[in-house]
């Protein structure tokens, strides 16, 4: 098999000449093809079949113990000029990077099949979608890409119509950590990955294409590729507003995307609809609003901590047609991870007899891959070629103090500063130092495919005559009291904050203006049925001026790090707030 597109055939032929596979297979995405690949992986031990009664068509994959997460220090953005990659990325000259990779790829697929995987990020018929082709020697990657993207014959037909695609070349190589790279060539719309079979290092449609390369494409073409969930909030009148929200890791992104409202809200007729939990592509529409699609077709979620309490919707979709990576397993063949309320693991993620004192049952970064359509809160709007109109953009981080529960940015420029200054505090488990503030602008630090200074400027460029831009908010679900206890209950109760935001969008709620932003009046948040001391709520909605003055100085130092690429308008906005605080 081959394509009608000469440029695609030529590229596949050149890769085959370099990597020397025993066979070439063009993937069509069919059920029969998937069944053959699953059979192959069961036979060679790449997959383990789980309990057919409780988890039909579910499988466990164990990756190499040295290959369990993204490798940021081995991830490069290869632009002609180092300044275009920016201090937020590792840079390598394109010629040097191609030389490194060609040496690794030479003959690497001997004895293996080379799979050609055409895929579409977003609905196949959407003008907002973009396509790619991943060449890989991993059937595990093919099976995951089939769930995570629109993969196969339909995608190939669109690629042939468009005449363009992102090129992704992946080989698991020897799984040697010393021979592992993930290279991005934004100017060539190309990704090259070697030496890893794990998740985002190997499923090149995910972070590599949908964020690093797409953010570069988006800047060139006038849209935004963002590390954001997309959620629809339907009020009792049947009106739905869509919200895009960016959070760094460990801040409850998937939980918010699949939020179940408190009982009183459900009784009143509120509903929540999941469009996506990780990536959001936003394009300006003819009416001046931003319209968003989720370029993914599935969820590649972190398993530990996902439970009936934290995310019942996620648990409900994981009992059929799912792939689990690096979780534990029970005696009767069910998947198990830390945080689950029932079951008992007998084997850990490496297949060893489970011993709590030696290792957790599931690796902390263990994953599930499942179709988005299996989520109980999934909406068919996720397949709308036009996308969904975004009413509000939310930025959030994990801050034990200073940042209030919620505030609204004064205008778009202020909102971009809020996103650029976004930060989370480290935990002892991660770094050995508690409370170190790390900036993660728009939650894109590991994923922006070009210089952050230029990226902030691109965000600012959307504020032009005729634009009807979303309101921007910041939230912090993680404020703690003097005893180190969380002050806000979080999870489903975050709906109460979302309701206030949407009332601000529709002009139905007032706000208290402060130099930092507009806050709710304590009486404007619906706390019915919530056991929350009014004094605690007041504290959650109070601005510490001295603390914020210091914060603004730190933000200034951070922005200085991008030199003359930092937009003057952003620094002027920061200086204005600092002056008001003084």
For residue 565, the SS3 value is: helix
CA dihedral over 425, 74, 216, 158, signed as positive or negative:
negative
For residue 400, the SS3 value is: coil
Q: Is 146 annotated as a binding residue?
A: no
Q: Catalytic residue numbers?
A: 251
pTM of the model as a whole: 0.97
- β-partners of residue 281 are 225, 293
At residue 207, φ and ψ (nearest 5 deg) are: -65, -40
- β-partners of residue 117 are 134
Contact assessment for residue 399 and residue 409, using Cβ atoms and an 8 Å cutoff: no
Contact assessment for residue 188 and residue 216, using Cβ atoms and an 8 Å cutoff: no
Q: Is 251 annotated as a binding residue?
A: yes
pLDDT class of 377 with cuts at 50, 70, 90: very high
Q: pLDDT tens across 87-124, in order?
A: 999 999 999 999 999 999 999 999 999 999 999 999 99
Q: Is 492 annotated as a binding residue?
A: yes
Pick from 425, 397, 410, 539: nearest CA to 482: 539
Q: Give me the long-range contacts of 217-221 (CB less than 8 A, separation at least 24).
A: 217/130, 217/186, 217/189, 218/281, 218/458, 219/450, 219/454, 219/455, 219/458
Q: pLDDT tens across 290-348, in order?
A: 999 999 999 999 999 999 999 999 999 999 999 999 999 999 999 999 999 999 999 99
| Per-residue pLDDT at 522 exceeds 90 | no
Contact assessment for residue 210 and residue 166, using Cβ atoms and an 8 Å cutoff: no
Q: Is 200 annotated as a binding residue?
A: yes
Q: Is 144 annotated as a binding residue?
A: no
Instruction: Dig out the tokens for 531 from the structure.
Output: 């056991």
Query: What is the DSSP track for 219-236?
Result: HHHT-EEES-EEEEEE-T
Give the gyration radius of the chain's Cα atoms: 24
Counts for the chain of helices (H) and strands (E), in that order: 18, 30
Bridge-based pairing state of the strands 471-475 and 388-396: parallel
pLDDT class of 432 with cuts at 50, 70, 90: low
* Structural domains in the chain, sorted by start: 6-46+75-222 (3.40.449.10), 226-297+380-581 (3.90.228.20), 298-374 (2.170.8.10)
d(CA 2, CA 85) in angstroms, rounded, equals: 35
Q: Is 249 annotated as a binding residue?
A: yes
Pick from 165, 366, 391: nearest CA to 275: 391
Average of pLDDT values for 552-563? 98
- The 8-class DSSP code of residue 315 comes to H
Q: How many CB atoms lie within 10 A of CB 342?
A: 9
Task: For residue 513, count CB atoms less than 10 angstroms from its CB and return exposed for 0-12, middle for 13-18, buried for 19 or more.
Answer: exposed
Average of pLDDT values for 447-476? 98
Contact assessment for residue 412 and residue 469, using Cβ atoms and an 8 Å cutoff: yes
Q: What pLDDT is attached to residue 251?
A: 86
Q: Is 110 annotated as a binding residue?
A: no
Q: How many CB atoms lie within 10 A of CB 574?
A: 21
Q: Is 179 annotated as a binding residue?
A: no
Q: Is 565 annotated as a binding residue?
A: no
Q: Is 253 annotated as a binding residue?
A: yes
Q: pLDDT tens across 226-244, in order?
A: 999 999 999 999 999 999 9
Q: Is 493 annotated as a binding residue?
A: yes
């Amino acid at each position: 098999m081959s394509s009608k597109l000469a440029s695609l055939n030529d590229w596949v032929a050149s890769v085959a000449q370099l990597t020397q596979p025993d066979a070439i297979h063009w993937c069509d995405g069919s059920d029969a093809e998937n069944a053959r690949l699953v059979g192959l992986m069961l036979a060679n031990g790449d997959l383990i079949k789980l309990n057919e009664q409780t988890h039909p068509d579910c499988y466990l994959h164990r990756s190499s113990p040295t290959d369990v997460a993204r490798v940021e220090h081995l991830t490069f953005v290869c632009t002609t000029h180092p300044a275009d990659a920016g201090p937020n990325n590792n840079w390598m000259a394109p010629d040097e990077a191609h030389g490194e990779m060609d040496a690794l790829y030479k003959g690497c697929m001997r004895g293996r099949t080379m799979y050609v995987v055409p895929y579409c990020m977003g609905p196949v018929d959407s003008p907002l979608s973009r396509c790619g082709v991943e060449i890989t020697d991993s059937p595990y990657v093919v099976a995951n890409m089939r769930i995570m993207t629109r993969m196969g014959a339909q995608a190939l037909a669109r690629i042939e119509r468009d005449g363009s695609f992102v090129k992704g070349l992946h080989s698991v190589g020897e799984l040697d950590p010393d021979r592992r790279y993930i290279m991005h060539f934004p100017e060539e719309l190309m990704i090259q990955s070697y030496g890893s079979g794990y998740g985002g290092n190997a499923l090149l449609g995910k972070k590599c294409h949908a964020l690093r390369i797409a953010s570069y494409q988006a800047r060139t073409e006038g849209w935004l590729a963002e590390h954001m969930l997309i959620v629809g909030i339907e009020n009792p009148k049947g009106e739905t507003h869509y919200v895009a929200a960016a959070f760094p890791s460990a801040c409850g992104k998937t939980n918010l995307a699949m939020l179940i409202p408190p009982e009183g809200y459900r009784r009143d007729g509120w509903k929540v609809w999941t469009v996506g939990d990780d990536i959001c592509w936003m394009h300006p529409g003819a009416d001046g609003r931003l319209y968003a699609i989720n370029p993914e077709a599935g969820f590649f979620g972190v398993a530990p901590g996902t439970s009936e309490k934290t995310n019942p919707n996620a648990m409900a979709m994981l009992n059929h047609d799912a792939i689990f990576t690096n979780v534990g397993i029970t005696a009767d063949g069910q998947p198990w991870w830390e945080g689950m309320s029932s079951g008992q693991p007998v084997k850990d993620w490496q297949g060893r007899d489970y011993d709590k004192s030696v290792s957790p049952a599931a690796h902390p970064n263990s994953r599930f891959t499942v179709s988005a359509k299996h989520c109980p809160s999934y909406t068919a709007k996720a397949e709308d070629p036009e996308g969904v109109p975004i009413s509000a953009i939310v930025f959030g981080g994990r801050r034990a103090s200073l940042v209030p529960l919620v505030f609204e940015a004064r205008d778009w420029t202020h909102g971009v500063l809020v996103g650029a200054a976004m930060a989370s505090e480290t935990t002892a488990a991660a770094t050995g130092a508690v409370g170190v503030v790390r900036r993660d602008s728009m939650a894109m630090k590991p994923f922006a495919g070009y210089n952050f200074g230029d990226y902030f400027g691109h965000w600012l460029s959307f504020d032009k005559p005729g634009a009807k831009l979303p309101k921007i908010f910041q939230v912090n679900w993680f404020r703690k009291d003097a005893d180190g206890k969380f002050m806000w209950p979080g999870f489903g109760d975050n709906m109460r904050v979302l309701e206030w935001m949407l009332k601000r969008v529709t002009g139905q709620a007032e706000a208290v203006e402060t130099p930092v932003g507009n806050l709710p009046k304590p009486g404007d948040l619906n706390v019915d049925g919530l056991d929350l001391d009014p004094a605690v709520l007041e504290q959650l909605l109070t601005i510490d001026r001295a603390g914020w003055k210091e914060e603004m100085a730190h933000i200034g130092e951070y922005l200085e790090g991008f030199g003359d690429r930092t937009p003057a308008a952003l620094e002027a906005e920061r200086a204005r707030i600092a002056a008001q605080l003084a």
